[in-house]
Chain A
């Protein structure tokens, strides 16, 4: 049930992104494209492929670097931008190494996932510091990236512990892992709802 709600939320978010696509700033256009990809991956995983862990493992090699790169487009501090380039490289290489040499294609790559969670949380905090240090402060609720980074911070920080332990929990009790996965679904719903808010407030801001 929760999975279906999640799919509806991500579908809504994607449709909003596509509907306003022309009016969006460049970084939100990239986000909209990423949302389309995420939706396709989720739909294929949900309806087409039964054992879909390998599919998500490949997707997360690209998903995390993309979100990290998105922050590079937004941040103004040169120092933070430099750090983000390091993050991006580390995450991409770590995910590839993990995929090919450590956890492999058919076991959930929770190491690289956990690393990605930490890096994205740091990026979100970077964005917050950027906002607080801005010489021209603006109302946060009108800033699309504030909603997006808030979604990231909530999702990835809260999901870090669960996904980090997911393989272990699955080895002990698969049913429990499935039940606990509801938390991830709930967090996903929050994150993509906040993405939608961000996209909508970006267009209302331009009006």
Chain B
């Protein structure tokens, strides 16, 4: 039989031990609940991100398909009609039509250039330098922009899809400049350095606060395409000081990420 003191000691130790276990259980529960909750939240965020990426991918695919359709329509229909007009004009020896004939020939050339720059299949087999040069020439004729183009280093071939993506990013940047920047000059640089290709596109337009700017489809598609080909994208802009987009890609990279 235990005496009174031992009984008290036993009860105190037992109750304290039970309390300790109880509290430990509560703390463990809080810990594990929080952990599961965090995991669940991260999963939800990952799902949401994947959904947004998929949505953007679909938007871009639709955009590409639409551009392909328009390009085909321009090339096959409007191009054909213009060719017929050119033939008809050629049959007429009137010297007063000489300027018109020249203009029609120019329009046919421009229309074909536009159709080629829009159609993805027409871009394959060309280096990024060739694609940029053709597009810049086309834009110089069609817009009031002064585009200054510089190629530095020795051109290194990239895989076809990467070149198309880079070209689309370039087009999107120029499109943004035309739509929003109100710029007079655009400076495009293509720099090949060892295994790196750097593309700089800068303008002297309005610029914007890059921290506060809302990311529209244009900027999102630039980001998405850059991410897909594993390129580092840097965008610097501030109100009144123009915008500069830099894209750096490893020319040794062969695989598209995430596609």
A interface vs B, CB < 8 Å? 125, 128, 131-132, 137, 139-140, 150, 153-154, 157-162, 165, 169, 172-173, 176, 179-180, 183
Least Cβ–Cβ distance between B44 and chain A, in angstroms: 12
A153 and B12 form a contact (CB under 8 A): no
- Which of these, A132, A153, A165, contacts B33 with CB under 8 Å? A132
- Which of these, A131, A132, A153, A172, contacts B8 with CB under 8 Å? A172
Q: Which residues of A contact B16 (CB under 8 A)?
A: 158-159, 161-162, 183
| SS of A interface (majority) | helix
Residue of A nearest to B3 (CB): A173
A161 and B12 form a contact (CB under 8 A): yes
Q: Which residues of A contact B88 (CB under 8 A)?
A: none
Q: Which residues of A contact B8 (CB under 8 A)?
A: 165, 169, 172-173, 176
Chain A proximity mask over B144-187: 1 for CB below 8 Å, otherwise 0 = 00000000000000000000000000000000000000000000
**CA gap between A183 and B30 in the complex, in Å:** 25
**CA gap between A140 and B26 in the complex, in Å:** 14
- Which of these, B4, B5, B19, contacts A158 with CB under 8 Å? B19
Which of B34-42, B67-75, B116-124 interfaces with chain A?
A: B34-42
A128 and B26 form a contact (CB under 8 A): yes
Given contacts A128-B30, A132-B33, contact A169 B12 (CB under 8 A): yes
A154 and B13 form a contact (CB under 8 A): no
**B20: interface (CB < 8 Å):** yes
- Which of these, A140, A173, A183, contacts B5 with CB under 8 Å? A173
Q: Which residues of B contact A140 (CB under 8 A)?
A: 30-31, 34-35
**B85: interface (CB < 8 Å):** no
Least Cβ–Cβ distance between B172 and chain A, in angstroms: 35
Q: Which residues of A contact B15 (CB under 8 A)?
A: 161
**B9: interface (CB < 8 Å):** yes
Q: List 14 A-B contacts (CB under 8 A).
A: A128-B30, A131-B30, A132-B37, A137-B38, A139-B34, A153-B23, A154-B20, A154-B23, A160-B19, A161-B12, A161-B15, A161-B16, A176-B9, A183-B13
**B27: interface (CB < 8 Å):** yes
**Shortest 10 CB-CB distances between A and B: which pairs?**
A173-B5, A161-B15, A158-B19, A176-B5, A158-B20, A158-B16, A157-B23, A128-B30, A157-B19, A140-B34
